[in-house]
Structure 1
């Protein structure tokens, strides 16, 4: 399952991270593949950025978030000598690494593999779809923010999915209002409803709106489990609802 958007800064990594945590809470084993090679952020969001990747007979061993090994990660962030090293690679080298991440990582028996992608519709996206095609990926979740500029970029991602034969599971509107940490009132800092309108236009499900929540931001900065620690947060029901729709979609496909 790919998490996509036509632009940066809309919160793809946030959605990928929280979706993994929500699916874990539902009893599923989840892998996260970070193919944002120039800006890997998944390791830090799980507070495992100092871990090393090891080899086994089956290939690379992913980094496990917990002792139960319910969430496993693979990212170029684990392979850099220094966290501030820049990845200055041409397309072919990027494509080769992505194929390795899919085929040569000992993911084990997963219920879901979530792929966090960079902005756009370029080499990394094409390579990821091609590498995953033999495994019959569930589909893609598209992330946007409410503004028309962001929605316009995500329309291009819809075209990408159509051209590559990638099923769109639905659209998530992130940063949909700001939740006051004192009174919990939600204020529409940006415009509202762009994601839902885009879903209607494209004829795909609207999975929900996730507000800007200081507790969510804090948990991401500190690598904490937002789903477990902040069940009363305004963002919590939205994230759990999105995860449930993913579960329902997977169940329908397997039946």
Structure 2
């Protein structure tokens, strides 16, 4: 007989955490999809943590962009958020693409044909502009269509290299774009950044309940892993006509969408970003949507998101339009 809902909730609350000596072995780990990963992971502090902390000492804010579900526009949102931050030329922004098997950030930022420069001081990020740099496995591939067929340990090793060997330098924001789910890459990033400090995570969802179901799992992951949730962003929230700016609901929020989920979970709701076909075109051509359409409803919505995020991390970034 399956355990009662209350028993399942109690067992979930008893998660020992991925770094515990009993991780993957405790009774509460039974049935967890990450049980094997936690059980096989090395226990105790990683000897490379001081190296990671030293390398990231000049990075003021480290923010994860998460979503339990693929297809919600998480990487697109990351690229838009980076461009939004970078409109302030006094600030320096970095994107670390940890979606090892599906790296799309270089294409969206217009630098997919670049390669990594290695010097005595480490790997240099690929610079999109004077104040916006990117690191991704895409820069290491001989062909942009090559598939990455790696198991967890190899992916985790590359993420560690991104953190301890890349010369990030002095940066205001490092945005970490992650793959969907709550698996190897997420555990690695969290454990490696814990000593150098993570400001928290932004959850990206779309209005439908199918998307919200997976975001709930991501929220649960963050709470178990001790990651602060900075807020929820509802992406693809209505369609905005580029000509008349009329908004139409494409994905109906049958249960209240991101705003209702944020209220239910006690998490800040950072705002709604509408669909705009010009966003997709900008990403395909590797151009800044902010530079070309600064007065569009989507840009105004993103500025509102940035303002809310600034409040959560104690920064003053962009004025709201």
Work out whether the TM-score is over 0.5.
yes
Higher Cα Rg: structure 1 or 2?
2
Alignment of 1:106-125 (within 5 A): 106-125=167-186
Aligned residue number for residue 66 of structure 2 = 4
SS at match of 1:135: coil
Superposition deviation, residue 181 in structure 1: 2.7
Q: 1:155 aligns with which of 208, 216, 228?
A: 216
Structure 2: runs of 5 or more not aligned: 1-62, 316-321
Residues 19-51 of structure 1: CA deviation (Å, up to 9, x unaligned) = 111111133211100000000000000110000
Alignment of 1:218-229 (within 5 A): 218-229=281-292
What CA distance in whole angstroms lies between the structure 1 residues aligned with 2:290 and 2:310? 16
Aligned residue number for residue 103 of structure 1 = 164
Q: 1:233 aligns with which of 292, 296, 301?
A: 296
Alignment of 1:64-79 (within 5 A): 64-66=127-129, 68=130, 70-79=131-140
Q: RMSD between aligned alpha carbons?
A: 1.3
What CA distance in whole angstroms lies between the structure 1 residues aligned with 2:193 and 2:231? 19
Superposition deviation, residue 245 in structure 1: 2.2
SS at match of 1:65: strand
Aligned residue number for residue 101 of structure 2 = 38
SS at match of 2:171: coil
Superposition deviation, residue 247 in structure 1: 2.4
What CA distance in whole angstroms lies between the structure 1 residues aligned with 2:265 and 2:291? 34
| Contact 1:3–1:143, Cα closer than 8 Å, also in 2 | yes
| Contact 2:231–2:309, Cα closer than 8 Å, also in 1 | no
Residues 82-125 of structure 1: CA deviation (Å, up to 9, x unaligned) = 10111101111011110111111000101110000000000011
Residues 205-230 of structure 1: CA deviation (Å, up to 9, x unaligned) = 10000011012121111111111210
Matched, 1:49 2:112: yes
Aligned residue number for residue 3 of structure 2 = none
What CA distance in whole angstroms lies between the structure 2 residues aligned with 1:138 and 1:29? 17
SS at match of 2:295: coil
What CA distance in whole angstroms lies between the structure 1 residues aligned with 2:243 and 2:302? 21
Aligned residue number for residue 79 of structure 2 = 17
Matched, 1:198 2:261: yes
Structure 1 stretches of 4+ moved >6 Å: none
| Contact 2:207–2:235, Cα closer than 8 Å, also in 1 | yes
Aligned residue number for residue 26 of structure 2 = none
Q: How many residues align?
A: 251
What CA distance in whole angstroms lies between the structure 2 residues aligned with 1:36 and 1:158? 19
Q: TM-score, normalised by structure 1?
A: 0.95
Residues 6-30 of structure 1: CA deviation (Å, up to 9, x unaligned) = 0100011111111111111133211
Superposition deviation, residue 198 in structure 1: 0.7
Matched, 1:172 2:242: no
Q: 2:141 aligns with which of 58, 74, 80?
A: 80
SS at match of 2:100: coil
SS at match of 2:274: strand
Q: TM-score, normalised by structure 2?
A: 0.76
